[in-house]
Amino acid sequence: MDNFYNVSSSLSDIRKELRKDTLSLKNRLQSILYDSKFVSGLELNFPLVPNERCGLWYVPNDSQIDSSYFKSTDGHTSEWAFSMRRLNLHLVPIIGENDGISIIDSTRKGKLMPDALSKTIPIWCAVLNSILYEDTSDNEIVQELGSLLSGWSEDDTGFILDLKNNHSWLRTPREMVFRSEHNLIVKRIPEFVKEVKHLGLISKKQLIAALGGKRKPLVPFWTYPGNKGRIHTISNDHNDGGIVFEDSTVNRTNPYYTIQCVTASKKTEELDGAPITVQSRSQDQELISTSWRYIQGAADDHELWATKDICQGNLSPKIFWSLLLIKSAEGIIDENTGYIYDWLSEAELTQKLNKLYSQLLESKENHSFVLRTQVSDVKNTKNDTGIILGIMESNIHYEQLIVEFPEVAEVVIFSDKYVVTDVPEKVQIQLFQHKIESSKKGSKQLREVLPTLVPKLKAGDVNSKILVLCDSGKDISAGLVVLLLCKYFDLEWKIKQSPEAVKVDKDLVKKQLSLLANVRKVNPSRNTLQSINTYLM
């Protein structure tokens, strides 16, 4: 019996090692490059918006107009939600200006697309449309859209009104969402709308203004490997019928704003990756083959595979695409194929990445790091809170801090990577530096820091501003700013006369977070918000 268990254990260990090898760094990066080529080859006519975090790996830095944050968990079966923390309202002006957007994401093995694309985004569109067309009759919709468009047809009318009256504006992909689930989500849309209106987060007037004054519904479409979306069936009936329109990326006079949901990775069933070979021609017309094991959704959960021995633990989508642009003998990309050199071993690839990363750091040190471009003033058209929020991506010299922010009196830094250097004994800026990383652990550490930190800050003085930075510019730093807004400012961002007399609850936190999201794209984690709530309540 012991021998049996020993053999089973050995086989299990062998399988683990084989799987570890097939899910190697090289296979992952090759797969990411392969999928990014699919995205770039689609010739989408709308701005590219990668969905954080996974989608960022599939779109080069200079090809992104912005990013979104739609979570698949908000689309999981029976867990459907319209997130009050992830409103993504910064996308609305981009949609209005460009008649639509293309949102890029990916998912792991066995699925055509992530729930973020198949359900979370459709829910988001349905809720915004419900607010956009609140108290608007069918006749008003037809007349308004008809005045905006040329060639308005009965099919257009039927599609839009069916979407509104029979589906609460919800449109989901038939190939991913069963009719029964679709209908259950439809029933939840009015609840989501009611909650949004209760909190006063979005109004019809605000949405129309953000869209540039042109009111049309937001309608999702889906593109994935094997279906490039040249023809769309515009129907929510989940049957064999439906109205067929030409691809919305070709016809730019549509009665809707196109929300193109693009899945970068192709579906595979193999646990350990699918063998793939790509052939290319060199400049001399020589046939070159590149082979690896394709990993669906290779970029997912990158903190688990982009380990500390790679780029000092800092390999991120932004760093990855920056490294590919470095032209040197240490380059990893074969210009003939556009892929990592086939002959590179895992160890050699890691070594080259680390050398390229060192070169990248040196180039940053040789150029003046302009922190001012990495921050946002927390203010609206009427009031300035005196708070500045942003990201810190490298060490910064104290004197540079003085030059770039002469109006700042206090600086709060949450980072386990970067600090203010060469700080003199006598300072004119008060520094509060805390070694807190942007992670679940960091969010919990924040809870311990707040009771001593917050009383020291002079919030509300426009002439004595506070600069708050963290590694992401979206999580820990944003959490502190939300806390200060709740404690010292009203919803118009006027200073409260008696801060302690005002009741602070979770609704107020949600409202202030929503207002902050209009200034800067922030996404404090649940753990960060729990730390904020613990302090405030």
pLDDT at 238 over 70: no
Tokens of 438: 């942007």
Last residue of a domain, one of 228, 263, 298: 263
Q: What is the mean pLDDT of residues 270-276?
A: 83
> How many residues are recorded in the chain?
537
> DSSP string covering 202-271, please?
--HHHHHHHTTT----EEEEEEBTTB--SEEEE--S-SS--EEEE-TTT----SSEEEEEEE-SPP---T
In a domain, residue 316? The reply is yes
Place of tokens 């939840």: 188
Last residue of a domain, one of 263, 294, 325: 263
Residue 327's CB is within 10 A of a number of other CB atoms, namely 9
Domain count, the chain: 3
Domain of residue 165, residue span: 22-263
Instruction: With cut-offs at 50, 70 and 90, classify the pLDDT of residue 393.
Output: confident
pLDDT for residue 250: 42
Residue type, 355: K
**Average pLDDT, rounded, for the chain:** 87
Q: Give the angle 368-369-373 at the CA atoms, nearest 5°.
A: 125
Question: Does one domain contain both 185 and 307?
Answer: no
Q: What is the dihedral of CA 169, 173, 176, 178, to 10 degrees?
A: 50
pLDDT at 233 over 90: no
SS (H, E, C) 292-353: EEECCCCCCCHHHCCCCCCHHHCCCHHHHHHHHHCCCCCCCEECCCCEECCCCCHHHHHHHH
pTM: predicted TM-score of the whole model, two decimal places? 0.87
Higher pLDDT, 430 or 284: 430
Question: Does one domain contain both 447 and 525?
Answer: yes
Q: What percent of the chain is predicted at pLDDT more than 90? A: 61
Question: Does one domain contain both 119 and 161?
Answer: yes
Instruction: With cut-offs at 50, 70 and 90, classify the pLDDT of residue 246.
Output: very low
Q: What is the mean pLDDT of residues 272-297?
A: 89
Question: Does one domain contain both 26 and 172?
Answer: yes
pLDDT at 229 over 80: no
Question: Does one domain contain both 318 and 255?
Answer: no
In a domain, residue 411? The reply is yes
Question: Does one domain contain both 383 and 447?
Answer: yes
Question: Does one domain contain both 231 and 303?
Answer: no
Question: Does one domain contain both 180 and 300?
Answer: no
| SS3 of the chain: helix, strand, coil, percent, to 5 | 45, 15, 40
pLDDT for residue 484: 96
In a domain, residue 467? The reply is yes
Question: Does one domain contain both 307 and 399?
Answer: no
pLDDT 10s digits, 44-94: 889 999 999 899 999 999 999 999 999 999 999 899 999 988 899 999 999
Least confident segment among 176-190, 231-245, 326-340: 231-245
In a domain, residue 356? The reply is yes
CA 377 – CA 389 distance, rounded (Å): 6
Q: What is the mean pLDDT of residues 272-280?
A: 88
The tally of CA atoms less than 13 A away on the side-chain side of residue 170 is: 28
Tokens of 204: 């019809």
SS3 522: coil
Q: What is the mean pLDDT of residues 268-276?
A: 84
Is residue 377 within a helix (H) or strand (E), and if so which, with residue range?
A: strand 375-379
CA 257 – CA 248 distance, rounded (Å): 9
Last residue of a domain, one of 347, 365, 383: 365
DSSP 200: T
Strand order in the sheet with 218-223: 48-50, 100-105, 257-263, 218-223
In a domain, residue 115? The reply is yes
Question: Does one domain contain both 510 and 377?
Answer: yes
Question: Does one domain contain both 49 and 162?
Answer: yes
In a domain, residue 234? The reply is yes
Question: Does one domain contain both 161 and 211?
Answer: yes
pLDDT at 288 over 50: yes
In a domain, residue 13? The reply is no
Place of tokens 């069933």: 269
Q: What's 476's domain CATH number?
A: 3.90.190.10
In a domain, residue 192? The reply is yes
